[in-house]
Amino acid sequence: MIFIKLQGFEYGRCGNPTRKCLEQCLASLEGGKYALCYSSGLSAVMSVTHLLSTGDHIICFDDVYGGKFPIIWLLFKLLFLKQMVWLETPTNPTMKLADIAAVAHIVRKHCGAFLVVDNTLMSSYFQRPLDCGADISMQSLSKYMNGHSDVMMGALITNQFDVWKKLHYIQKTLGAVPSPFDCYLVNRGLKTLSVRMEKHMQNGLAIAMFLESHPLVQKLIHPGLPSHPQHVLAGRQCSGFSGMVTFYIKGGSKETEEFVKHLKLFTLALSLGDVESLVEIPSIMTHASLSKKERDLLGITENLVRLSVGIETTKDLIEDLDQALKRSCKKLSTP
C-alpha cells in the first residue's frame, strides 16, 4: 500500500493560494486568528448554523437582514443543546445597535453558548466584534469589504481554533466556496478599504445632517448623530460610521416611490456598501418576505428609505436628494 502525504493545496474546493491570502487578510483586519470565505453572505450564515445540532436554540435580534429570516426561522426552527446568539449591529435597515460586550458577558455565563455578530454594515474598518467578546464575526464581503458590487462572497472570522476546525470541515464538505478570481477581486477591494470607508463616513454624516433638518423628512436614523438613542454606545464600540443612512419620508408609499424615481445619482438596488450611492425601499424590497404586521412592529413602514451613500461628491448627492424630495412631495412642500 502506498501512502501519499499531500503538501499544500490538494483540491480547489478545499483551498487555494488566493483564497488563503484573503482569509489571512480578513483575520488580521478583524483582530482574529482564523477566517473562512464562502460563496455568499448567506452561505456563511448557513455554514455557521451547522455548528448546531438537534435540540439546540438560536436567539436572534428582531431586526436583521431580510434574507436571514428564511434560514433562521423557517429552515432551522425544527432542527435546533448549544445556544447560538445572533446579533446584527447596526441592524438593517432601522440601524438599532446592540452592546456586543454586554451580550458577550451574558453569553459566556452559559455553557455551550456562543455569540455571532454580523458586521456587514460597519465593515472591519469601523467595528471589530471579536475585540468586544464575540466568538464569531460574520460579514457579507459583497458589501463594504469588496466595495465595487462585482463579487458575491461571505466570511466568518474567529479566534478559537476548535470553532475554526469545525467550520473548516463544514466549508470543505458543503463546498459553498468562492472562486480564486472572486477572492482576487476582494483582495483588490481591501487595498482601498480605509480610503473608501473614510469617504463613506464623511458623505453619510453630511447627508444625515442635511436630511435631519429637511422639512420633508419625518425622521432620520444615523448612529453617528446625537439624535440616535444609542449614540453613546456607537461611540464606545465603533471607531467610525459607514455610509448607511435610514430615514422616513413625509407621506406614504406614493411619495416614497416617487422620491426614488426622481433620484438621478442614487441607483435603486438591494445591495449596499458600493462606491456608488444606492437606495432601496425595504418594505417592498429586502424585507418584502415579512408580513405587514411584522414590518410595522419593526418600524419598516412604507415610507422608510434606506440609503447606502457612496463616495461621490458630497454636494452633488445632497442636491440630488433635495430635488427628489421636493418633486415627490409637491403637495406637502406647497405652503
Query: 275-330, pLDDT tens digit by residue?
Result: 999 999 999 999 998 899 999 999 999 999 999 999 999 999 999 999 999 999 87
Which tens digits make up the pLDDT trace of 126-152?
Answer: 999 999 999 999 999 999 999 999 999
Beta strands across the sheet bearing 83-88:
34-38, 154-158, 136-140, 113-118, 83-88, 57-60
* 3 found inside a domain: no
pLDDT, average across residues 221-240: 98
CATH code of residue 149 = 3.40.640.10
Residues 155, 104, single domain; the answer is: yes
Residues 170, 214, single domain; the answer is: no
* 2 found inside a domain: no
Q: Last residue of some domain: 129, 160, 190?
A: 190
Q: What is the per-residue pLDDT for 56?
A: 83
Residues 17, 147, single domain; the answer is: yes
* 5 found inside a domain: no
* 1 found inside a domain: no
Of 143, 196, 295, 306, which one is the catalytic site residue? 143
Active-site residue, 292 included: no
* 75 found inside a domain: yes
CA pair distance 180, 188, nearest whole angstrom: 12
Active-site residue, 143 included: yes
CATH code of residue 288 = 3.90.1150.10
Of 13, 77, 191, 330, which one is the catalytic site residue? 13
Listed in order, strand segments (DSSP E) in the chain are 34-38, 57-60, 83-88, 113-118, 136-140, 154-158, 217-221, 244-249, 267-268, 278-280, 304-308
Residues 185, 201, single domain; the answer is: no
Q: What is the per-residue pLDDT for 195?
A: 98
Residues 180, 228, single domain; the answer is: no
* 4 found inside a domain: no
Buried b (16+ CB within 10 A) or exposed e, 61-82: bebbbbbbbeebeeebeeebeb
Residues 26, 164, single domain; the answer is: yes
Active-site residue, 131 included: no
Q: Quote the cell numbers at residue 173.
A: 464538505
> What is the residue range of 282's domain?
193-328
Q: Last residue of some domain: 128, 155, 190?
A: 190
Which tens digits make up the pLDDT trace of 35-76?
Answer: 999 999 989 988 988 898 888 887 777 777 655 555 555 444
How many separate domains does the chain show?
2
* 71 found inside a domain: yes
Q: Last residue of some domain: 145, 170, 190?
A: 190
pLDDT higher than 70, residue 173: yes
Of 19, 68, 118, 306, which one is the catalytic site residue? 118
Of 34, 65, 144, 248, which one is the catalytic site residue? 65
Residues 204, 169, single domain; the answer is: no
Mean pLDDT, the chain, whole residue set: 91
Active-site residue, 254 included: no
Indicate the range of 12-26, 39-53, 156-170, 249-263 predicted with least confidence: 39-53
